[in-house]
Structure 1
Amino acid sequence: MVYQRTHTWLYSLKDSLQPLKPHLTPLVCPEAIEQLDSVSSYFPDAIASTYGFEYRLQPSAPVVDFAFQVTETGREILAGLNPHTRLSEEFSKHPVWQQIQKFCGEWADPSSLLHYFISDLWLEFDSKLDGDTSTNNIPIPGLFFGVTSPPDNSGISFNYSWIWEQAMPSLLGTPLPPALEKKFIDCIKRLPPRTSIFQVGMMFSRTVEAIRLCLVGSPSELLPYLKEIGWTGQLAEVEKLVNSLSGCVDGIILDLDIGEQIYPRIGIEGIFLTRYQACVNGQWESLLDYLTSQGLCAKETKDALLKYSGYSLVKCLRDRIYVRGLNHIKLIYQSGQPLASKIYFGAMHQPLSKIPGRSAETVSTEDATKQERGDADPIESAVTFLLTARNSEGWWIDFQLAAGLSDEWVTGYVGTMLANIPDTRVPKAVSTAWNLLNSRRHRANGKWGYNRLPPGDADSTGWVLQLAYAIGESNSERARQAMQSLAAHQRSDGGICTYESEESIRAFIHASPEIGFAGWCGSHTCVSAAIAALPEYRFQLQDYLRSTQQNDGSWLAYWWQDPEYVTALAAEVIAACYPNSDCITNAVAWGMNRLNSQGFVATSDRPSGSPFATAWCLRLLILRRQDTAVQAAIAKVTNWLLAQQQPNGSWISSARLQVPLPDDLNPNKFNQWIYHGTIQGSLVFDKHCVFTTATVLQALHRSL
């Protein structure tokens, strides 16, 4: 008998998944939908807002495994700590769910290391392949927990021993078997220096006694690591697969099953940085074409998958915005066995009421249709996306580093980009942003930083001060204090450094004494150009900016992969003082050369066009818009950017933040960046797309 939900919650996950069914039916059979209904009916709607589906491409099967992400709210429900929403009593009687409840309770406890080291959970429920879609027994999941480092102000030193000493015993209700623990510890201790653990999993629903370890890093380190830990498969075959797949994706994750030995079957995941942006710039189509050419995906399946992604407003369950997207693919390799392939796709939602300025009642079916077909005004749609993208407190957040997500720097930047947009919703939004930033007063010098944890820096402070000028707060006590603090960042060569001194940032990242900080504490053109936008520094920094222009007309950034960012900023500052300067002419000529025939800037990570780099190039060209050739280029670039806007109003993640080694004076010669890393030497994208979208929005506002 299928479990019926109790009076303690009104909606189940089954209700949440109803809007997705029309998009699943072209891929899965009716029996799989029934099974999905059966499993999802066990859980309250409030437990999750992000869902995932695992689909077997080869060998093909018209079923999906179902998963959902557990964050803070879901954690409280699973732990039995939510006074209003609880699971059925059946869960408290089942040994597996008893351990999950205990595990989530420990994760919720601030006195436990799990509270700081675990970012989220995914619960995955396998589909039944025998045709039995009934659920007479409570469903048993596989559990994956995300691994992160704690905030540096927690006083907790980071290593991985907590996984085998606390997390796994809590999850299993018993210490790991000695032989498994020994092998697991050996695998952890042999991790290459630039490889990190993405997730750790335990498949309660399967009989294999192993721990799933998901590793992110460079294939050049991961492949030798396989042999070092005793994997006995054919490394040459795996290397060939990885090299072939790497040309179609942004990064690789390696999945291992660790028992008393390394199991022969491994997973090779191909991921994109823009996970929920559907088929962007043909990337997903190219990847699925590759799988089809290898006999790993049927053409009709490829076509159905490409149609799955989308965006819709659903007037049910308190009115929600649903975003559907393809996430990643996995190749399953075992020596002597046929290669298998899977694709992971999903959906996330949030209440429509979270869009500031628009209540659920004001959104009609006509509005929803307009959003679906992309007929909305591009500026209005971009503003709507940015307002919706704020967190519950009102911050814009983006970029994931060891210190966490950035809120102060990103909010200052996005607020600055929004401030002059002619939309009635903007003044309140940017005023809220300033009030939040103004409330952060824990630094004695009045500066702002990446977020509240690290020392204040000149770049973050400069962008917040630009916001203050834009909304008339430049004479406030806080703005004046921050402006005075910037004086200590100016170096003898005239430029502005990011960090005033090495002591505070050295302590924050726990750097060893032999590491120098000449790079992070030296003059930076990208930071200087941002500071030069402030009236107090506009003339002071002219000589420095002129002296650092390259022979080709560009400027090189310290913290950014894209020279368009710093070149446009520097050129705008010089143009404000000397509009006819040769510096501007040379910079615009360089910008024209950066564009391809279709009107976009191609980068190594976005060969089909980077909206972020292209938008900054557009701002650069506008400085010479009276030139006929430049006018034509501006029109082409503008049209290209408009065509790239996503149905939800955003542009794909393409702002490439680089975090050089502290002593690196010229990171543009560094070629060993860690994608998705969190520490120095990492290359990080704005995964929430707010940085890119704000940049494109401002560029289009200036060009239209």
Structure 2
Amino acid sequence: MIWPLEQTFDRIRSDVPGALVTPGAWESVLGAARRLPRAISCAYLECRLGRDAAEVDLGASVMAAEGPILLAARPTGLPSSGEEATIWGRVQELTRVWTDPASPLHARVPVMWLELDSGEITRGRLMPSVLLCVDPSLPKGAASPDAIGHGLADCAPSLQAALSALSSEPLAPAARADLHRCFEALPAGGRIVHVGFMVTRRPTVLKLFAAMDREQVLDYLGAIRWPGSLGEAASLVDTLGAGPDTFRVDLTIGETLLPRLGLEFASRRGADPDRRALIDRCVEHGICTPEKRDALISWPGSKREVIPGYGRAVRLSRWIDMKIVHRPPEPLEAKAYLGFMLHLSLL
């Protein structure tokens, strides 16, 4: 069952902390949510945690079963021409390929995320980047990761199909070599779980999210010839990566692999001591304000909701993911992803 994202927004409004989402930012993301096609199962608000950092991005997910809905729909008020129309034409072409049972994307990708930057939605434009989950085991209840191939040969057909749909330009040779190396150097048990396509950039910028154990990160960065400082990466992992045994390494490939590095922490639903400890460390390092820490702690949870015209109660769930971004020479940045969704629940 899919509820319009605007309807879900109506039900989380009273729960959204003002320290994280200002009234102006809320109006911007709500305006974007009202325009999106009715194919969205869950969403998140991407919040910066530093002082005077008020930008809020919007992410919206489309499950494979909802692909045909997205294919048949267009955002409300989409211009008939121009850059916004071009970007959405590419998204629809990707969706057409994804929903084709003969496409490698159909079997490999269980969910697609549309990511909308605050700068564009503040201007009233829907200019999404696309994030594909390339790990079919990731959704709850799917097969074990060990039962699925995660190497370059397993993922390359899907990546090529996505790139062909989203970009008119092939990857530059250096970018392609870096992409291959990021797959081939994966440590034992490691896997690329998401690949992002920032299609508004020229050339298209790729984002890779590699899941691995903490002690594997530095060797992996060395193996892929990451151009940043391994000493700074080691300090980042030691000071802010303590807690969870596994997290995701966020890498960026433009014309070549870039020195930007992110550490992404997916938290458990409900009480999570690791998440609280990470937030406290962010405050200690000056990359999260105490007010935003308190707001984050209040966000996770769930409650029953009644949807008018629908005979059964549903549950509204809220959760947090975190990311630390190292982008020299800029200072460290902490981000939180306030996730939320309406879903059927017997309890």
Please, what TM-score do these two structures have when normalized by structure 2? 0.84
CA change 1:40–1:170 in 2 (3 A) is: same
Establish whether residue 349 from structure 1 lines up as the match of residue 342 from structure 2.
yes
Q: 2:257 aligns with which of 262, 268, 271?
A: 262
Ranges in structure 1 where 5+ consecutive residues have no aligned partner: 1-9, 356-383, 385-704
- Code of the residue aligned with 2:95 in structure 1: it is C
Alignment of 1:686-701 (within 5 A): none
Alignment of 1:31-110 (within 5 A): 31-44=24-37, 46-58=38-50, 60-80=52-72, 87-88=75-76, 90=78, 94-110=85-101
Separation of aligned partners in 2, 1:178 and 1:285: 43
Residue matched to 2:122 = 133
Counterpart of 1:338 in 2: which secondary structure? coil
Whether the 8 Å contact between 1:50 and 1:68 is mirrored in structure 2 is yes
Separation of aligned partners in 2, 1:15 and 1:176: 40
Establish whether residue 303 from structure 1 lines up as the match of residue 294 from structure 2.
yes
Whether the 8 Å contact between 2:209 and 2:250 is mirrored in structure 1 is yes
Separation of aligned partners in 1, 2:300 and 2:233: 30
Whether the 8 Å contact between 1:118 and 1:146 is mirrored in structure 2 is yes
Whether the 8 Å contact between 1:184 and 1:259 is mirrored in structure 2 is no
CA change 1:270–1:25 in 2 (3 A) is: closer
CA change 1:100–1:250 in 2 (3 A) is: same
Whether the 8 Å contact between 1:249 and 1:271 is mirrored in structure 2 is no
Residue matched to 2:140 = none
Residue matched to 1:324 = 318
Question: What is the CA RMSD across the aligned residues, in angstroms?
Answer: 2.8
Residue matched to 2:103 = 112
CA offsets 1:517-556 (integer angstroms, 9 cap, x no match): xxxxxxxxxxxxxxxxxxxxxxxxxxxxxxxxxxxxxxxx
Whether the 8 Å contact between 1:211 and 1:259 is mirrored in structure 2 is yes
Residue matched to 1:407 = none
Whether the 8 Å contact between 2:4 and 2:40 is mirrored in structure 1 is no
Shift of 1:324: 1.2
Whether the 8 Å contact between 1:38 and 1:134 is mirrored in structure 2 is no
Shift of 1:302: 0.8
Separation of aligned partners in 2, 1:203 and 1:178: 18
Separation of aligned partners in 2, 1:88 and 1:336: 40
Q: Which has the higher strand share?
A: 2
Q: 2:277 aligns with which of 282, 286, 294?
A: 286
Residue matched to 2:326 = 333
CA change 1:204–1:188 in 2 (3 A) is: same
Counterpart of 2:250 in 1: which secondary structure? strand
Residue matched to 1:144 = 131
Separation of aligned partners in 2, 1:290 and 1:300: 14
Whether the 8 Å contact between 1:255 and 1:267 is mirrored in structure 2 is yes
Separation of aligned partners in 1, 2:40 and 2:159: 27
Alignment of 1:553-702 (within 5 A): none
Whether the 8 Å contact between 2:3 and 2:342 is mirrored in structure 1 is no
Counterpart of 2:154 in 1: which secondary structure? coil
Separation of aligned partners in 2, 1:87 and 1:161: 30
Counterpart of 1:265 in 2: which secondary structure? strand
Whether the 8 Å contact between 1:12 and 1:42 is mirrored in structure 2 is no
Shift of 1:308: 1.6
Shift of 1:60: 4.4
CA change 1:294–1:201 in 2 (3 A) is: same
Shift of 1:144: 0.5
Residue matched to 2:226 = 231
Shift of 1:174: 4.4
Residue matched to 2:163 = 168
CA offsets 1:590-643 (integer angstroms, 9 cap, x no match): xxxxxxxxxxxxxxxxxxxxxxxxxxxxxxxxxxxxxxxxxxxxxxxxxxxxxx
Q: 2:113 aligns with which of 122, 133, 146?
A: 122
Whether the 8 Å contact between 2:43 and 2:60 is mirrored in structure 1 is yes
Separation of aligned partners in 1, 2:203 and 2:292: 30
Whether the 8 Å contact between 2:302 and 2:315 is mirrored in structure 1 is yes
Establish whether residue 312 from structure 1 lines up as the match of residue 299 from structure 2.
no
CA change 1:244–1:208 in 2 (3 A) is: farther
Establish whether residue 204 from structure 1 lines up as the match of residue 199 from structure 2.
yes
Whether the 8 Å contact between 2:240 and 2:282 is mirrored in structure 1 is no
Shift of 1:207: 5.8
Aligned residue-pair number: 328
Residue matched to 1:28 = 21
CA change 1:162–1:60 in 2 (3 A) is: farther
Separation of aligned partners in 2, 1:162 and 1:222: 26
Shift of 1:271: 2.9
Separation of aligned partners in 2, 1:34 and 1:332: 26
Separation of aligned partners in 2, 1:56 and 1:320: 30
- Code of the residue aligned with 1:133 in structure 2: it is T
CA change 1:98–1:309 in 2 (3 A) is: same
Separation of aligned partners in 2, 1:34 and 1:97: 22
Counterpart of 2:78 in 1: which secondary structure? helix
Alignment of 1:241-252 (within 5 A): 241-252=236-247
Please, what TM-score do these two structures have when normalized by structure 1? 0.43
CA change 1:127–1:207 in 2 (3 A) is: farther
Q: Which has the higher helix share?
A: 1
CA offsets 1:39-79 (integer angstroms, 9 cap, x no match): 111124x4122111111012542332111111034311222
CA change 1:207–1:56 in 2 (3 A) is: farther
Separation of aligned partners in 1, 2:29 and 2:77: 21
Task: Considering Cα pairs closer than 8 Å and 6+ residues apart, tell me whether 1 or 2 has the greater RCO.
Answer: 2
Larger radius of gyration: 1
- Code of the residue aligned with 1:62 in structure 2: it is A
- Code of the residue aligned with 1:66 in structure 2: it is L
Separation of aligned partners in 1, 2:52 and 2:200: 21
CA change 1:20–1:148 in 2 (3 A) is: same
Residue matched to 1:525 = none
- Over the matched positions of the two proteins, sequence identity in percent amounts to 27
Whether the 8 Å contact between 1:78 and 1:87 is mirrored in structure 2 is no
Whether the 8 Å contact between 1:67 and 1:124 is mirrored in structure 2 is yes
Counterpart of 2:316 in 1: which secondary structure? strand
CA change 1:160–1:49 in 2 (3 A) is: closer
CA change 1:335–1:36 in 2 (3 A) is: closer
CA change 1:232–1:182 in 2 (3 A) is: closer
Shift of 1:204: 2.8
Pick which of 172-181 and 306-315 moved more.
172-181
Alignment of 1:343-422 (within 5 A): 343-351=336-344, 355=346, 384=347
CA offsets 1:255-305 (integer angstroms, 9 cap, x no match): 111123211111111233x2xx2333x433222111111111111111111
Counterpart of 1:78 in 2: which secondary structure? helix
Q: 1:185 aligns with which of 175, 180, 188?
A: 180
Counterpart of 2:119 in 1: which secondary structure? coil
Alignment of 1:516-555 (within 5 A): none
Shift of 1:212: 0.5
